[in-house]
Structure 1
Amino acid sequence: MLSSCDSIRIFRHSAPYINAHRGKTFVLMFGGEALEHANFANIIHDIALLNSLGVRLVLVHGARPQIDQRVALRGKPLRFSQGIRITDKETIESVKDAAGSVRAQVEALLTMGLANSPMHGSQIRVCSGNLVVAMPMGVRDGVDFELTGLVRRVDVDGINDHLNDGSIVLLGPVGYSSTGEVFNLAHEQVATQAAIALKADKLVIFSESDGLMNADGGLIRNLDRHLLQGLLTNSADDHQGHSLLSAVAESLDAGISRCHYISYHQDGALLQELFTRDGAGTLISQTYYEQLRQASIEDVGGILKLIKPLEEKGILVKRSRELLESEIEQFTVIERDGTIIACAALYPYPDQDMGELACVATHPDYRGSNRGERLMQAVIEQGRRAGLRAIFVLTTVTGHWFREQGFIPADVEALPDGKKQLYNFQRNSRVLILTL
């Protein structure tokens, strides 16, 4: 259980994120499975908190398990082709029934205001309606999907009117046509098209897993569009997983700068993801022309060109080409159109479970766009994978920036023995440490 001091510290550290998110538009997407989970009431509380902090929220819910239940109750078979539900006139009644029931459930939870609950005192308006215009999916590979549809248009003005009034907008897996028909839609597509049309600042996806996983089953905390493609290709046999990854990819390609992939099982995952440095799930960022990767021997010239001006100013310790070539495996770089625009190195001291962050540099033309933070997160993940308990940095000029990233000032005595012996007292670098 957190002490009062820990709670205050966490609250203080969340302040920059509160300021950054206020007035921004977030689209939150969750399937029908999330609504049936015991933790969904906590997710609603966190959504209400976001609303009270001035975040403009569009919620998009699915209803697949609820539709399946109602189709079964009607004694009808579940019909799918290519992983997509075939919606005939009888099935659409189950769709409307399920979508309406789920919508009512969400609206009721957002209205709850018991004195002993986190919702006490909240006055939340939830708006929905004919905000999604649909069209039929038609015939694919000889299969008529009947009343299964696609998003034709999202009523951006209507949604923004509700958001500007401080309301939460709730969208479901149904859309309406100009001919008065109701279509069954994939909630992933509704969320994606809503985020793109609204030019949302974030798309947040609630999923079964804690986030996106690597081949070893470990959580991937940060991912860019380039690396996402590999996961997307490998997920082809998992229709639901592929649909979620496709939603992320399409959103990033259309200009949504950040997507978040979190678990609906984990209590507080939404708040942890949005208001802490480490997050709770996977952050997927938009990097069309940039790639964050481990450096190779071909990058030596680019790194030397990047760090030379900083070495001349005394900000960085000088490194020869020979030294850099021998240490290149310690470096992580950001490459843009073939040019190294940022770099950082991590030198491990495994005997004391520590590592040194060094040679952190960003090209002057590309500062101020969170590249340093992305590089920092990559190095932190590298340190964690190596089993390090802390990372330290020696700096003469940029100590304030490292403190903003969570580093704490320390004495020279806190350094590993090997580094302590090499410390240059004439240079008098500040020591800062980040506990992993």
Structure 2
Amino acid sequence: MSSTTPDNQVHWFRHSSPYINAHRGRTFVVMLAGELLDGPRLATLIHDLALLNSLGIKLVLVHGARPQISARLKDAGIESTFEQHMRITDAPALDGVMAAVGALRLKLEGLFSMGLANSPMHNASIRLVSGNFVVAKPVGVRNGFDYQHTGEVRRIDVDAIRQQHNAGNVVLLSPVGCSPTGELFNVNAEEVASTAAIALGADKLILMGNDLRLNDGSDNQLRELSPQEAGKLLAEDLFQDSNIDRQLTAACHAASNGVGRAHLLDANVDGALIKELFTRDGCGTLVTRETYETVRGARIEDVGGILELIEPLEADGTLVRRSRELLETEIHRFAITERDGMVIACAALYPFPDDKTGELACVAVHPSYRKGERGAQLLGYVERRAREQGLNSLFVLTTLTAHWFQQQGFEAAGVDALPGARQSLYNWQRNSKVFVKPL
């Protein structure tokens, strides 16, 4: 079935609704790298940003301008000089900076003003507001280099930005800052984005660029990093000559200073912004101090998620049916794997203290997450709980998943290996196989 069929669209919309509710009223800082502003996907990105605005998200849009500034200076015969990823900006170069940034501001204002019938922005009526929201200071002289009109962010005018958000406007920040003395400074767009996100207490910092994809040594995409892990990657100088270095630094800075989540997205992926924000697994790299996926003991509010997970397995006979009432009574026996608010795996431990053993029951993993060793991780958690209770072994009864339990170290045994109290409850019609694992 095509992903564009009405049934699949309804399915996607239903599953996106928790994120629509969660994001409403939140503040997101979104940075578009300079190369995107002359690229073929810019109009689509603006449409997606307009959608976020229509859903009640408070947006701060930060735009880069590095390639446009370089092009302006080249046309003017001015050579660009960089030190530590910063352009040394003399007076003639500053003229090129202002011309490039001014042109990009007008371009973005024009795109946000689109309202053609039968287009994604029909009747959008979005006001894009720019101004002197970024207060800068000079970099000065470092390591013998006078950076002249290159600056750093001194502060962000948070009150003014919030006033614009309260009026329903999208705020645009450019990589140019004003000083209290009236001077203009060329500032790093990534620094503007991360500093604004921190100052505003933003819920998300989203950095978008061409080919902005972080891979591991096996060329697999890194989906989640802590700030510490991101810092180690930066220390290895893997991205020294690419935009990724600056953008990962900004994400790490934000995530280490109170911003809940920082996202790095490859804008070449069509709909990357929507996929990242409104699907459970997203499509980019998340930098966060929070635990996106965790294994923990179940709580009463997890009952609905566990029932939704196990119902298909009960229907095909893999698991014995449990009523909601029974599950609520026994919820303290359960452990779950939670991924961004969704129960994706569960297992229960029923101890038999007199026999120093426990039954592992109701083991289930969501079909979409069965290739990530989550069952084994959850089993490890249950085994630790069993040891804490003084148990020496676990046993399991299964009809369809014997091979998986054998892979986890369980060995076949007879019904007589069960504790006496469990033997009396054995269902001979179901004829489950018994497996035991010493702890």
Scaled by the length of structure 1, what TM-score is found? 0.70
Structure 2 residue 283 is matched with structure 1 residue 280: yes
Aligned with 2:29 (options 27, 30, 39):
27
Aligned residue in 2 for 1:185: 187
> Could you tell me whether the CA contact under 8 Å between 2:30 and 2:207 is conserved in 1?
yes
Q: Decide whether aligned partners of structure 1 residues 275 and 72 sit closer, same or farther in structure 2, where only a CA change above 3 A counts.
A: same
Structure 2: runs of 5+ lacking an equivalent: 301-305, 307-334, 339-343, 350-364, 380-396, 407-411, 413-424, 431-439
Aligned residue in 1 for 2:6: 4
Structure 2 residue 278 is matched with structure 1 residue 265: no
- Over residues 92-123 of structure 1, what are the superposed CA-to-partner deviations in whole Å (9 max), with x where a residue is unaligned? 01100110111111111111011121011111
Aligned residue in 1 for 2:54: 52
Q: Decide whether aligned partners of structure 1 residues 309 and 196 sit closer, same or farther in structure 2, where only a CA change above 3 A counts.
A: closer
Aligned with 1:252 (options 252, 255, 279):
255
Aligned residue in 2 for 1:133: 135
Provide the rounded CA distance (Å) in 2 between the counterparts of 1:143 and 1:307: 57
- Over residues 34-62 of structure 1, what are the superposed CA-to-partner deviations in whole Å (9 max), with x where a residue is unaligned? 11221111111000000000000000001
How many Å apart are 1:194 and its aligned residue? 0.4
> Could you tell me whether the CA contact under 8 Å between 1:257 and 1:286 is conserved in 2?
yes
How many Å apart are 1:207 and its aligned residue? 2.3
- Over residues 117-161 of structure 1, what are the superposed CA-to-partner deviations in whole Å (9 max), with x where a residue is unaligned? 101111101111011111100001000000000001110000000
Amino acid at match of 2:18: P
Aligned residue in 1 for 2:394: none
Provide the rounded CA distance (Å) in 1 between the counterparts of 2:243 and 2:155: 23
Structure 1: runs of 5+ lacking an equivalent: 294-302, 316-341, 346-355, 362-375, 395-411, 429-436
Structure 2 residue 136 is matched with structure 1 residue 157: no
Larger Rg: 2
Q: Decide whether aligned partners of structure 1 residues 107 and 414 sit closer, same or farther in structure 2, where only a CA change above 3 A counts.
A: farther
Provide the rounded CA distance (Å) in 2 between the counterparts of 1:226 and 1:265: 27
Provide the rounded CA distance (Å) in 1 between the counterparts of 2:241 and 2:207: 17
How many Å apart are 1:229 and its aligned residue? 2.1
Structure 2 residue 182 is matched with structure 1 residue 167: no
Provide the rounded CA distance (Å) in 2 between the counterparts of 1:291 and 1:46: 24
How many Å apart are 1:226 and its aligned residue? 2.8
- Over residues 290-318 of structure 1, what are the superposed CA-to-partner deviations in whole Å (9 max), with x where a residue is unaligned? 7989xxxxxxxxx9xx87999xxxx9xxx
> Residue 195 of structure 2 aligns to a residue in which SS?
helix
Aligned residue in 2 for 1:91: 93
Mapping for residues 176-325 of structure 1, pairs under 5 Å: 176-209=178-211, 211-235=213-237, 237-238=240-241, 240-287=243-290
How many Å apart are 1:248 and its aligned residue? 1.0
Amino acid at match of 2:69: I
> Residue 175 of structure 1 aligns to a residue in which SS?
strand
How many Å apart are 1:284 and its aligned residue? 1.6
> Residue 279 of structure 1 aligns to a residue in which SS?
coil
How many Å apart are 1:360 and its aligned residue? 8.0
Provide the rounded CA distance (Å) in 2 between the counterparts of 1:308 and 1:194: 37
Q: Decide whether aligned partners of structure 1 residues 15 and 74 sit closer, same or farther in structure 2, where only a CA change above 3 A counts.
A: same
> Residue 166 of structure 1 aligns to a residue in which SS?
coil
Aligned residue in 2 for 1:406: none
- Over residues 216-261 of structure 1, what are the superposed CA-to-partner deviations in whole Å (9 max), with x where a residue is unaligned? 1111122222322221212363363221111111111111111111
Q: Decide whether aligned partners of structure 1 residues 207 and 414 sit closer, same or farther in structure 2, where only a CA change above 3 A counts.
A: farther
Provide the rounded CA distance (Å) in 2 between the counterparts of 1:11 and 1:243: 35
Q: Decide whether aligned partners of structure 1 residues 420 and 343 sit closer, same or farther in structure 2, where only a CA change above 3 A counts.
A: closer
- Over residues 156-183 of structure 1, what are the superposed CA-to-partner deviations in whole Å (9 max), with x where a residue is unaligned? 0000000111100000100001111110
Question: Number of residue pairs matched?
Answer: 338
> Residue 270 of structure 2 aligns to a residue in which SS?
coil
Provide the rounded CA distance (Å) in 1 between the counterparts of 2:73 and 2:114: 30
Amino acid at match of 1:131: F
Provide the rounded CA distance (Å) in 2 between the counterparts of 1:260 and 1:380: 22
- Over residues 297-354 of structure 1, what are the superposed CA-to-partner deviations in whole Å (9 max), with x where a residue is unaligned? xxxxxx9xx87999xxxx9xxxxxxxxxxxxxxxxxxxxxxxxxx9869xxxxxxxxx
Aligned residue in 1 for 2:102: 100
Provide the rounded CA distance (Å) in 2 between the counterparts of 1:357 and 1:152: 47
> Residue 35 of structure 1 aligns to a residue in which SS?
helix
Q: Decide whether aligned partners of structure 1 residues 114 and 205 sit closer, same or farther in structure 2, where only a CA change above 3 A counts.
A: same
Amino acid at match of 2:218: D
Q: Decide whether aligned partners of structure 1 residues 415 and 283 sit closer, same or farther in structure 2, where only a CA change above 3 A counts.
A: farther
Amino acid at match of 1:218: N
Provide the rounded CA distance (Å) in 2 between the counterparts of 1:111 and 1:8: 30
Could you tell which deviates more after superposition, 142-151 or 33-42? 33-42
Scaled by the length of structure 2, what TM-score is found? 0.69
> Could you tell me whether the CA contact under 8 Å between 1:134 and 1:177 is conserved in 2?
yes
Provide the rounded CA distance (Å) in 2 between the counterparts of 1:155 and 1:344: 41
Provide the rounded CA distance (Å) in 1 between the counterparts of 2:299 and 2:192: 49
Provide the rounded CA distance (Å) in 2 between the counterparts of 1:62 and 1:78: 16
User: How large is the RMSD of aligned CA atoms in angstroms?
Assistant: 3.7
> Could you tell me whether the CA contact under 8 Å between 1:235 and 1:241 is conserved in 2?
no
Q: Decide whether aligned partners of structure 1 residues 142 and 425 sit closer, same or farther in structure 2, where only a CA change above 3 A counts.
A: farther
Provide the rounded CA distance (Å) in 2 between the counterparts of 1:81 and 1:210: 22
- Over residues 354-410 of structure 1, what are the superposed CA-to-partner deviations in whole Å (9 max), with x where a residue is unaligned? xx955489xxxxxxxxxxxxxx99x977x5467x9x99x99xxxxxxxxxxxxxxxx
> Could you tell me whether the CA contact under 8 Å between 1:226 and 1:291 is conserved in 2?
no
Provide the rounded CA distance (Å) in 1 between the counterparts of 2:27 and 2:348: 33
Provide the rounded CA distance (Å) in 2 between the counterparts of 1:309 and 1:66: 54
> Residue 135 of structure 1 aligns to a residue in which SS?
strand
How many Å apart are 1:64 and its aligned residue? 0.5
